[in-house]
Amino acid sequence: MEKQLSSQQSLDLIARTISDTRTRLERNSGRPFLIWGYTVVAISLLNYCLTVSSGLLGYGSWTWFLIPVIGFILTRIFPMRKCNEPRTEIDRIISKIWLVLALGIAPAFVIAIFSRSDIYGIITLLMASGIAITGVIVRSRIYTLFGFIGMGLSTLFSIFGWWLKNFVDLEALVDADRWIVCIPMLAYALVFIVMMVIPGHIMNYKNRKQCSQS
C-alpha cells in the first residue's frame, strides 16, 4: 500500500528533499578552490625560491605550467563528488564559466608578453572574476565577497610595477637585492590564499556542519 500524503506533507517533502539533495551535493563545494588555490600558492613559492636562489629573473617561467598539470591531476584524484552523485544545472553552468575563463588565460599571456603588461594582475583579475561570478550564481556571499576582494587585490601588481619603474633603480640593484623584483610572486601566492584557499576552507566547514545537522 502506497503512503498517501496530505497537501502540507507533500510540500514539506518536496522542500526537504530538494534541500537535502542540495546540502549533500554542496558538501565538498570548496574542494576545487582548495586544490587550485594551494597549487598556485605552492608553484608561486617554488618559482620565488628558484628565481631568488638562481639569481636569474624568469628562471622559473616554465614551472608556471605545472599549475594546470598538477591542478588537473589533483582534481581527478580528489573529485568534488562521489562517482554516483549527480551534477546539477548550476554545476554545469559554473564549470562552463570556469572553462571559458581558463581558456582566457592563453590570450592573457600573449597580451602580457607583447604589451609588457603585468601577467600576475591580469590572471588574478580573471580568476577573481570567476570566483565572484560563481558566488553570485550559487548565491554565496563568501565567494562573492572574496572574489571582489581578489579583483581589488589584482590592482596591487600594477601599482607595484609602477613603483618599481619610477622609484627603484633596477640597474643599481645588487644580486642580494634582486628579491625585490620577485615580490609579485609572493604577493601572487598571498592573493590566492585570500581569494581561493580561505573561502574554500570556510565553504567546506560550513557545508560539513550543515550536512552533519541534516
CB of 94 to other proteins, least distance (A): 13
Residue 133 one-letter amino acid: I
113 near other proteins (CB under 8 A): no
197, HSE (Cβ side, Cα atoms, 13 Å): 13
76 near other proteins (CB under 8 A): no
What lies within 8 Å, CB to CB, of 173 at 6+ separation is: 180, 181
- Of the candidates 46, 78, 67, which has an alpha carbon nearest to the alpha carbon of residue 182? 46
Shorter beta-carbon distance to other proteins: residue 10 or 61: 10
92 near other proteins (CB under 8 A): yes
Shorter beta-carbon distance to other proteins: residue 84 or 115: 84
Single residue of 62, 76, 86, 167 touching other proteins by CB under 8 A: 86
Contact 164, 181 (CB under 8 A): yes
Single residue of 83, 110, 172, 174 touching other proteins by CB under 8 A: 83
**Quick one: cell of 56?**
636569474
139 near other proteins (CB under 8 A): no
Calpha distance 73→191 (Å, rounded): 23
Shorter beta-carbon distance to other proteins: residue 76 or 116: 76
DSSP string, 157-171: HHHHHHHHHHH--GG
Calpha distance 131→146 (Å, rounded): 7
87 near other proteins (CB under 8 A): yes
Residue recorded with cell 643599481: 172
Stretch that binds other proteins, among 65-73, 88-96, 114-122, 140-148 (CB under 8 A): 88-96
Query: Where in 7-26 is the site for other proteins (CB under 8 A)?
Result: 7-8, 10-11, 13-14, 17-18, 20-22, 24-25
Q: Which residues bind other proteins (CB under 8 A)?
A: 2-5, 7-8, 10-11, 13-14, 17-18, 20-22, 24-25, 83-89, 91-92
